Chains A and B, each alone.
Chain A
Amino acid sequence: MIVFFTLAVTKLNMTYINNIGLYFLMIKEMFRKPTKWSVMKGLILKDIDDLVIGSLGIVAFISFFVGGVITIQTALNITNPLIPRYLVGFATRQSVILEFAPTFTSIIMAGKVGSFITSSIGTMRVTEQIDALEVMGINSLNYLVFPKTVAMMLYPFAIAIGMFLGILGGMAACVYGGYTTLEDYITGVQMDFDGFHMTYSFLKTFVFAFILATIPSFHGYYMKGGALEVGKASTTSFVWTSVVIILLNYILTDMLLG
């Protein structure tokens, strides 16, 4: 029984290890035999449009309202009169810049951008379009994954907008809800600003952008089966992308701030 169990676990681990190895091979292969620049340029522009510009709306919407909620929650929980009211602005700024905009938004993007990437590449796999590319002598990983990765390097701009709107949303909630005055909120937002927090935050965002482009691509590219499996692959891809983002967030935070 125990032997059987150990065997099962080992087998499971082997698939994980194999997949991790395959993922890194994919990254390496992605840079080989590049597609003609004239073609690649078009692909990158299209992916910028699909992945980054197409996500601005939802990022803006979520940031603004979550910023507002963070402010309200903080304001409602500060009941001790000894704590200054401007702390509300300070707390909003810190949570939006450090965690909400880079990490929380990226998890949502793992759902939006990630499932889009997995299902579009997965559909190309099941309808033999990837085989068609390979048969033509095209490096399909470079053709499909590289432009998405490059396009996602603009994702930090979306996050910057998210940070700004989050703080703005907090301000709106604060002032309209009558929790603190505008002056207090602004004082809080400007208080003790540490430039390194921005560096940390954008560094994270770049790493997440890379993960958001490559892990969903991996799940789409190496999927097997038919249309039904495309749906399953999107779900698995969302789970793994989120898990990796959360783990890397922990590791990077510990390394850079801890």
Chain B
Amino acid sequence: MIEVKGLHKSFGDAHILKGIDTFFEKGKTSLVIGQSGSGKTVFIKCLLGLFSYEKGTISYDGKIFSELSEDQKRDLRAEIGMVFQGSALFDSMTIQENVMFPLQMFTKMSKSEMEDRADFVLKRVNLDDAHYKMPSEASGGMQKRVAIARAIVNNPKYLFCDEPNSGLDPKTAIVIDNLIQEITDEYNIVTVINSHDMNSVMEIGEKIVFLQYGLKEWEGSKDTIFKTDNKAVTDFVYSSELFKKVRKMYLEEKQ
């Protein structure tokens, strides 16, 4: 479980996060949603310790992150998988080497074992013919999938995804969402996903945190988000006509 208490983060005069309290549980896919620029990326980078913050505590299974030594932080991070918004693949390595990289760094596997494991995870993200391409030769969607494969290759305990399906076609996006949910269930890990994609929210949001103006405006799940009267949430979630209709139908059905 990851617990966040009173998290404040500013860049100079810009106060981006103004006291966030929440928690993310094991075996659940948690979504952090909010408009572009609402601080989702900053939030996730604070959780990972990539940004320092002025106030607040973040704890991983009871261990307060800021109180760990640099080496303890690195040991903890070896158990974290992260998918960056821009994929962040190493561009001097092939796709296969990218996926094998965490194994090479943190396990004693032989080369063939690593290759087998890389094959396995690449298949899971529907990529089995791109092993020897360089990241620059892959499309954005392929890069995202490689990034997911790299994040899960070493069986992380905590998985973070920053907009994992932005830039993907709707079909692949659903495959990726389901994949992330399956992995979360199967390995009983803590998964936190940043998203502004409503499909994901409806599909996999077992817990949803809605950020607005630096505050946690609302918290719930994909079931409660239909019923909420919170205007900020409904404005954001049902901004498209399609979702307005879906909500209306859903509420009528319930009556």
Residue ranges of A at the interface with B (Cβ–Cβ < 8 Å): 32-33, 35-36, 38-39, 123-124, 127-129, 131-132, 134-139
Residues A134 and B77 in contact in the complex (CB < 8 Å), given A35-B105, A128-B88, A129-B88: yes
User: Are B88 and A33 in contact, with the CB atoms below 8 A?
Assistant: no
Selecting from B68-76, B206-214, B234-242, the interface stretch reads: B68-76
CB closest chain-B residue, reference A126: B86
Q: How far is the CA of A196 from the CA of B240 in the complex (A)?
A: 79
- B102 interface residue, CB < 8 Å from A? yes
User: Are A132 and B70 in contact, with the CB atoms below 8 A?
Assistant: no
User: Are B104 and A127 in contact, with the CB atoms below 8 A?
Assistant: no
Q: When the two chains form the complex, which single residue of B77, B86, B101, B105 contacts A127, counting CB atoms closer than 8 Å? A: B86
A134 contacts across to B, CB distance below 8 A: 50, 77
User: Are A137 and B91 in contact, with the CB atoms below 8 A?
Assistant: no
CB closest chain-A residue, reference B162: A128
14 new A-B contacts at CB < 8 Å, known A32-B70, A39-B104: A127-B91, A128-B85, A128-B86, A131-B84, A131-B88, A134-B77, A135-B77, A136-B80, A136-B101, A136-B106, A137-B73, A137-B74, A137-B76, A139-B74
User: Are B77 and A137 in contact, with the CB atoms below 8 A?
Assistant: yes
- B226 interface residue, CB < 8 Å from A? no
Minimum CB–CB distance for A74 against chain B, Å? 46
B74 contacts across to A, CB distance below 8 A: 33, 137-139
User: Are B91 and A129 in contact, with the CB atoms below 8 A?
Assistant: yes
Size class of the contact patch on chain B: 20 to 34
Tell me the residues in window 19-73 of chain B with beta carbons closer than 8 Å to chain A beta carbons: 45, 48, 50, 70-71, 73
- B161 interface residue, CB < 8 Å from A? no
Minimum CB–CB distance for A157 against chain B, Å? 25
The 3 closest A-B pairs by CB, nearest first: A137-B77, A137-B78, A128-B88
Tell me the residues in window 77-116 of chain B with beta carbons closer than 8 Å to chain A beta carbons: 77-78, 80, 82, 84-86, 88-91, 101-102, 104-106
**Of residues B74, B85, B89, B106, which shows the largest number of chain A Cβ atoms within 10 Å of its Cβ?**
B74
A136 contacts across to B, CB distance below 8 A: 77-78, 80, 101-102, 105-106
Q: How far is the CA of A131 from the CA of B160 in the complex (A)?
A: 13
Minimum CB–CB distance for A136 against chain B, Å? 6
User: Are A132 and B88 in contact, with the CB atoms below 8 A?
Assistant: yes
User: Are B50 and A131 in contact, with the CB atoms below 8 A?
Assistant: yes
User: Are A135 and B48 in contact, with the CB atoms below 8 A?
Assistant: yes
Residues A132 and B84 in contact in the complex (CB < 8 Å), given A137-B76, A139-B74: yes
B48 contacts across to A, CB distance below 8 A: 135
**Of residues B78, B84, B88, which shows the largest number of chain A Cβ atoms within 10 Å of its Cβ?**
B88
CB closest chain-B residue, reference A132: B88
Q: How far is the CA of A132 from the CA of B105 in the complex (A)?
A: 13
Q: How far is the CA of A14 from the CA of B137 in the complex (A)?
A: 44
Minimum CB–CB distance for A11 against chain B, Å? 14
Minimum CB–CB distance for A152 against chain B, Å? 19
B78 contacts across to A, CB distance below 8 A: 136-137
Q: How far is the CA of A135 from the CA of B50 in the complex (A)?
A: 8
Q: How far is the CA of A137 from the CA of B49 in the complex (A)?
A: 11
Minimum CB–CB distance for B44 against chain A, Å? 10
Minimum CB–CB distance for A65 against chain B, Å? 34
User: Are A132 and B106 in contact, with the CB atoms below 8 A?
Assistant: no
Minimum CB–CB distance for A30 against chain B, Å? 13
Minimum CB–CB distance for B234 against chain A, Å? 33
Minimum CB–CB distance for B158 against chain A, Å? 10
A138 contacts across to B, CB distance below 8 A: 74, 105
A127 contacts across to B, CB distance below 8 A: 86, 88, 91
User: Are A36 and B45 in contact, with the CB atoms below 8 A?
Assistant: no
B82 contacts across to A, CB distance below 8 A: 132, 135
Minimum CB–CB distance for A134 against chain B, Å? 6
Minimum CB–CB distance for A142 against chain B, Å? 11
A132 contacts across to B, CB distance below 8 A: 82, 84, 88, 90
Minimum CB–CB distance for B253 against chain A, Å? 43
User: Are A36 and B86 in contact, with the CB atoms below 8 A?
Assistant: no
B73 contacts across to A, CB distance below 8 A: 137
User: Are B106 and A137 in contact, with the CB atoms below 8 A?
Assistant: yes
A39 contacts across to B, CB distance below 8 A: 104-105
